[in-house]
Structure 1
C-alpha cells in the first residue's frame, strides 16, 4: 500500500476522552514518523440502537449529532482509519469493506470480534489476544510524550513552581468491574500518602478520575489538603500533563491500565497504590507484572524510593508497526 501524499488519518471514537486519546495518541505517533493530516470523528448511536450487535447496526442508526463517518461521493477515502471502542466497530468493518482496500483499518483495544476482520488490532498484551493481525503492546496507546507534557507546564507554572521537591503526582481512579475505592480504604491510602510526602518534606499534586466515588474523594481531600501542594477539583483546565512533567514520583491506583502506562512513559518512579478487589485481578495482574518487568513500577510501600528505567514507548513502537504493515500490504 504505497502513499505518495501526506497520510490522511481519521481518528474515530465515541468522544470520551479516555477512549479517544488511545486512537489519537497512535495517530499522533504516526504523524511524528511521517507527514500526515489527522481528522477526528466522534460518533454515537441513537439510544434505541446502541445495544444492537455490530452486524445489525447501520449508519442510519447513528445519532444526528455524530460526525459523518464516511467520505462524501467526491471525497477520497482516508489512507488510515484508527478507531477505538465498541461504538466504532460496525463502522470500522464497513470502512474496510466499502473502501475496497483503499483504507487501512486499525482498531485499538480488544474488539471482541475476530481480529482477522481488521487490518490491524493494537491490543494490550494483558488482554491475551492473538492472531496474525494482532500487535500487542504493554498498556494502551496514549498521547503522553516528553514534549507534550513540557508544553503543558507553563500554564500551571505559577502554582507548581513554588512547590518543594520531591513533588509527588497522585493519580486516583475509582470503582470499576474489578475494583472499588471505599471511603475507608481511601482514608487509609491518604494517610499512607501523607506520611510518605511529609517524611520526604515534599509536596502533593493530586487528581481524581471521573470514576472516583464522592465519599472516597472527600475522605482523601480532607486528609491531604494540609500538605503543601495542589488538589485538582475538576474545575478549570486539567493539570494532568503538567503534573506528570513536574513530578519526581508518580503514585497510581492499580485499577487504571491507561494511567499506569501513561505514567510509565515518563521514566519516573511509578508507585502502584492498591485498591479493593471485587474479583480476581486477572488481566490487571498481567499488566502490572509487565510494567514491573520493564522496571517502571513497584508496589507502594509507604516510602518514596528513587529508581531509573527506560521510559515506556509502546505507542511509538505500535506506530512503526502500523506504517510497516501499510507498506507491506
Structure 2
C-alpha cells in the first residue's frame, strides 16, 4: 500500500437517518466528491431515542442517541449531513477542536451560518454566503452507475419492444397525494400511451406509494407489456433508466425528477392530487421545464433532447473549492 497516497485521500463521512431518499442525497454528493478527488467514504446512520426524537436540534445532545455515536468520532475531513436527524450532530461536530468541514444537504431550517457549507435546492429559496443552490437534489445516478447496473437485468429487458418507458411513481406527502382513483386514472393514461407507441413499460413504486393506490395502478396496467417491479430482490431502477427511451415521474419528488433529468431522456411529469398549494414545487417544475429536461406528460410521448443535468457534480466541485479555501 502507498501510505503517502492513502494519507492524501479525503476522509468523507455521510450522516443521515438511513431513509433512502435522504441518504442517497448525502451519499450521492460524497460519491461525486470522490470522483473529483481521491477519497474514502464512511456512512453513519443515526437514530435518536424515541422520547427525544421530536425535540428541536438545539435541545438534543449525543447522550440521547440510540444509534450512530460514531458520527462524532474524529478523523474525518468533510462531514456531510442530510435530514433532520443529522442536524444536532452537525452542530456538535462543528464545535469540536479541529472540526471537519461540515456540509449540510437540504434546507436545514436553521441559519446557514451555523454550518460551513449548505447545498440546498434552488426552489427552497434559501440564501446565504455559504449556500450553494442546485436544481433539484443531489443523487447517485451517473452514466457509469447505470451502465454497471444494466447487465444484471439484461436478459429480461432485451426482449422488450421499444420505445421503453420507465415510470417512477411516488406517493403521499405534505403537498401531494396519490389516491386510488387518481392512480387508476394515471395507470390508464400510461397504458394507453405505451400500447399506442408499441412499446414496453418499466415501472417502480416508491416507499411512499399508498398500498391502495399501488393496487389500483397495477390493475389499470395489468395488460400493458413490460415489467412492473414487485419490490422483491435487487431494485432494477438503474437498469430501467439505462434502458428507457422516456422517463415518467410523478411531480411529488425532487429526488426522482432530478435523477430522471440526469439521464438525457425526455422526462414527462405526471400530475398528482394537490393537498395544499406549494410555490416551492411550482418553482422546481418551472426550473426543470426551463432546463429543457422536462415537460408535462403527453400521452403521444414526443421525443426531445437536452443536455443532461449534472447538478451533483457541480455541488461537489463547489464543496471542494470551499473546503480548500478554508485551508
Q: Secondary structure at the match of 2:8?
A: coil
Task: State the match for 2:76 in structure 1.
Answer: 78
Task: State the match for 2:70 in structure 1.
Answer: 68
Summarize the Cα distance change of 1:216–1:290 in structure 2 as closer, same or farther, 3 Å threshold.
same
1:116-155 mapped onto 2 (5 Å cutoff): 116-155=113-152
Q: Is the 1:70–1:95 contact (alpha carbons within 8 Å) kept by the matching residues of 2?
A: yes
What is the CA deviation profile of residues 31-64 of structure 1, one whole-angstrom value per residue up to 9, with x for unaligned ones? 000110111111110001101111111111100x
1:1-329 mapped onto 2 (5 Å cutoff): 5-63=8-66, 65-71=67-73, 76-100=74-98, 102-329=99-326
- 2: CA distance between counterparts of 1:69 and 1:214? 35
- 2: CA distance between counterparts of 1:55 and 1:159? 51
Q: Is the 1:124–1:136 contact (alpha carbons within 8 Å) kept by the matching residues of 2?
A: yes
Q: Secondary structure at the match of 2:162?
A: coil
- 2: CA distance between counterparts of 1:51 and 1:259? 27
- 2: CA distance between counterparts of 1:155 and 1:68? 34
Q: Is the 1:225–1:231 contact (alpha carbons within 8 Å) kept by the matching residues of 2?
A: no
Give the length in aligned residue pairs.
Answer: 321
Coordinate RMSD, CA, aligned = 1.2
Question: 5+ residue gaps in structure 1?
Answer: none
- 2: CA distance between counterparts of 1:86 and 1:119? 17
What is the CA deviation profile of residues 145-165 of structure 1, one whole-angstrom value per residue up to 9, with x for unaligned ones? 000011001111121111100
What is the CA deviation profile of residues 236-264 of structure 1, one whole-angstrom value per residue up to 9, with x for unaligned ones? 11111111111000000001111000000
Q: Secondary structure at the match of 1:306?
A: coil
Q: Is the 1:77–1:99 contact (alpha carbons within 8 Å) kept by the matching residues of 2?
A: no
What is the CA deviation profile of residues 133-178 of structure 1, one whole-angstrom value per residue up to 9, with x for unaligned ones? 1000000100000000110011111211111000000111111111
Q: Is the 1:249–1:268 contact (alpha carbons within 8 Å) kept by the matching residues of 2?
A: yes
Runs of 4+ residues deviating >4 angstroms = none
- 1: CA distance between counterparts of 2:270 and 2:18? 29
Q: Is the 2:10–2:78 contact (alpha carbons within 8 Å) kept by the matching residues of 1?
A: yes
- 2: CA distance between counterparts of 1:328 and 1:212? 43
Q: Secondary structure at the match of 1:252?
A: strand
- 1: CA distance between counterparts of 2:33 and 2:51? 36
Q: Secondary structure at the match of 1:186?
A: helix
- 2: CA distance between counterparts of 1:323 and 1:126? 23
Q: Secondary structure at the match of 2:161?
A: coil
